[in-house]
Structure 1
């Protein structure tokens, strides 16, 4: 009898908890979001059309209890569990091949956009392909439901609260109807996957039909990506980077955009392009940066400031590298990375965050204990390994998580 009561209690507890959470969410929308929306000039009718019937979407990855900032334990990401998966050849090869076809089809359009914004067509195509399969991937979610949910129960509620308000501004301004506001599970809109603030700041009406349409217009989509990159600082006179070999005498802990050197100085350390060619003469005297996104477990690069402009679009090193690499293959054919991606351990974000906090306690600058091993975390690992008599790998592993306490 006791077991039956316990089972019944569990069956009824989950729906009750969900109802309670939904009630909290409705109060959050009314008591927190609506007053902010009203101050931003949003009409009540607009707010109700966008938010009136929205329910929490608890299927969104990475949600946490309202008010928590701890990375969710279950999240595993290619950025640290298996960087090789990010460059699956079926994906990269498909984007490169399709991109070459679309480069021919849209040659005149891409040339005009490059003249206006200075960003090469191959880079625009690579981003377009990565973000939405060149506009062919169905964008599945209601942006207001996603943004409302993430404003209520993500690890970055302030960000998504601002983006929810920006989405309301888009509708209030007549730039899109609520039903047109389709997004990814992260709240990114349309074919270029812009957050609402990026749409307001960078979307371009390139086809001159009266409004920037990043859901249906190819010219608006590509020009909007170009406008974003130009305003982020794209240098039309430089490439994004070069794959290189890094001798053992050069520490992987030299990585990072704050440790730049002239490319000719990297050459003096023994770093060479994998092609065997010298660096372009116009690059040799300019600043370059060491990039080792999987530490010693994968390819290495000397990148230019344009690489970090690509990171303004998406802060992942692997994302920016994917775009540069796919763009090169669109332009020059299937030149794959020379060095392989080695095997890396599968790890939870919470485990990485615990290791980061331990390194912070020792005085290392890991860039924040967010569970994501960016360049500051990777080089901190390398410096810790060097100080402890180990050969530096500059990449987390389960053994390092256990050792760094």
Structure 2
């Protein structure tokens, strides 16, 4: 979690916060058309929440939190726990029937399949059932004042004030996650202003109380971010042993028919749809050779615009398929990978960078650039390519 402070320090920080509100944030809010009445009401009784993560107290320097540095990096399998996936799947299927008329309209207008919309809704807020307990102005104000990404949160708190000023919602309804995300689709305030739409025809974009508005807003977000109507998100596949896992990534795409010519097949045994085979697809191996493999389309990367995580986008696509086509789990099991600290993975990434590999940054998280760099290094060393970190790879690279 974030920084802690004794009572006297909290009092001092609160005094600085109140000064910052009046002398720094208020002039900018006023310039954007926010009234003093709105500003004062939004921050009435608000003090900095020093329990939030990623804060830097006055006089301190930002540093990697110990628990993040020492966090164990585990298998992607944990992200796809069957209880979580089946909860989204069953909940989505039930609501697909209940909300059929609204989903028909939304799908027709925005071109995003209903399974995708329902999967995001379920993942983000449990279809509106998740508790979202924080005062958004407390969270956003604290982070704009103390977070490591102050400017980003300044934009968000100003957008939240605009929401109140323009009567999009009331101050009492502005409940958020610890990161400041709002409502059933978990939109940040800037996203609300840009993408929230009225899906039920009452003239309001109510992402707190309206299922139709929530679904239409998610669809509008994805459509504006580039969702390609008529294309799938991806397919689970079998990758031949003689095809390099280092071919992974959105910058190494091929026509899906060319992947098929290299021996890549769908796990279902069916051919790739003809309209997909003519278009570009990308190899995705989230656990390298130790888990399921996929050929994904540009729509997979649109899902990453919603949450920049391969696992998130894959969860949404997988749950959407199960909502729409039946409860079929991944054909390939996730292997027992992990057991490393993020600091171990980061040290391995730095070692690969010194050897000239592009790992996408030494952040302790093995994204596709890190995975394929491992594979390329293994191939160059004459080893079977696994394209995923393990203790022996870390030991060889860091200590070797």
Calculate the TM-score normalised by the size of structure 1.
Answer: 0.90
- One of 218, 233, 256 as aligned partner of 1:225: 218
SS across alignment from 1:394: coil
Superposed, 1:242-391 pairs within 5 Å as: 242-391=235-384
The alpha carbon displacement at 1:402 in A equals 4.4
Change (3 A) 1:79 1:50: farther
Change (3 A) 1:42 1:346: farther
Q: Which residue of 2 aligns with 1:85?
A: 78
Change (3 A) 1:389 1:71: farther
Render the CA deviation track for 1:357-378: whole Å, top value 9, x for unaligned: 4433433222233333221222
Q: Distance in 2 between matches of 1:76 and 1:323?
A: 28
Q: Distance in 1 between matches of 2:390 and 2:156?
A: 35
Superposed, 1:32-111 pairs within 5 Å as: 32-65=24-57, 68=61, 70-75=63-68, 80-111=73-104
The alpha carbon displacement at 1:167 in A equals 1.1
Alpha-carbon RMSD across the aligned residues, in angstroms, is 2.4
* Between 173-182 and 299-308, the greater mean CA deviation after superposition: 173-182
**1:260–1:288 CA contact under 8 A, matched in 2:** yes
* Between 177-186 and 193-202, the greater mean CA deviation after superposition: 177-186
**1:213–1:220 CA contact under 8 A, matched in 2:** yes
SS across alignment from 1:404: helix
Calculate the TM-score normalised by the size of structure 2.
Answer: 0.91
Q: Distance in 2 between matches of 1:355 and 1:158?
A: 31
Q: Distance in 2 between matches of 1:93 and 1:366?
A: 34
Change (3 A) 1:355 1:122: same
Q: Distance in 1 between matches of 2:77 and 2:292?
A: 10
Q: Distance in 2 between matches of 1:355 and 1:176?
A: 48
* Between 208-217 and 364-373, the greater mean CA deviation after superposition: 364-373
Render the CA deviation track for 1:171-202: whole Å, top value 9, x for unaligned: 12111122211111111110001111110011
The alpha carbon displacement at 1:79 in A equals 11
Change (3 A) 1:382 1:20: farther
Q: Distance in 1 between matches of 2:254 and 2:280?
A: 5
The alpha carbon displacement at 1:65 in A equals 4.8
The alpha carbon displacement at 1:108 in A equals 1.2
Superposed, 1:98-137 pairs within 5 Å as: 98-137=91-130
**1:72–1:350 CA contact under 8 A, matched in 2:** no
**1:292–1:298 CA contact under 8 A, matched in 2:** yes
Gapped regions of structure 1 (runs ≥ 5): 1-12
**1:71–1:350 CA contact under 8 A, matched in 2:** no
The alpha carbon displacement at 1:68 in A equals 5.0
**2:69–2:343 CA contact under 8 A, matched in 1:** no
Gapped regions of structure 2 (runs ≥ 5): none
**2:102–2:200 CA contact under 8 A, matched in 1:** no
The alpha carbon displacement at 1:78 in A equals 10
Change (3 A) 1:279 1:144: same
Render the CA deviation track for 1:4-35: whole Å, top value 9, x for unaligned: xxxxxxxxx83334444444444443443233
**2:127–2:184 CA contact under 8 A, matched in 1:** yes
* Between 20-29 and 277-286, the greater mean CA deviation after superposition: 20-29
The alpha carbon displacement at 1:44 in A equals 2.4
* Between 366-375 and 346-355, the greater mean CA deviation after superposition: 346-355
Render the CA deviation track for 1:21-65: whole Å, top value 9, x for unaligned: 444444443443233323322222222222242222233344455
Change (3 A) 1:352 1:170: farther
Change (3 A) 1:319 1:14: same
The alpha carbon displacement at 1:233 in A equals 1.1
Superposed, 1:17-36 pairs within 5 Å as: 17-36=9-28
Q: Distance in 1 between matches of 2:149 and 2:14?
A: 19
**1:72–1:349 CA contact under 8 A, matched in 2:** no
**1:242–1:301 CA contact under 8 A, matched in 2:** yes
The alpha carbon displacement at 1:254 in A equals 1.1
Q: How many residues align?
A: 394
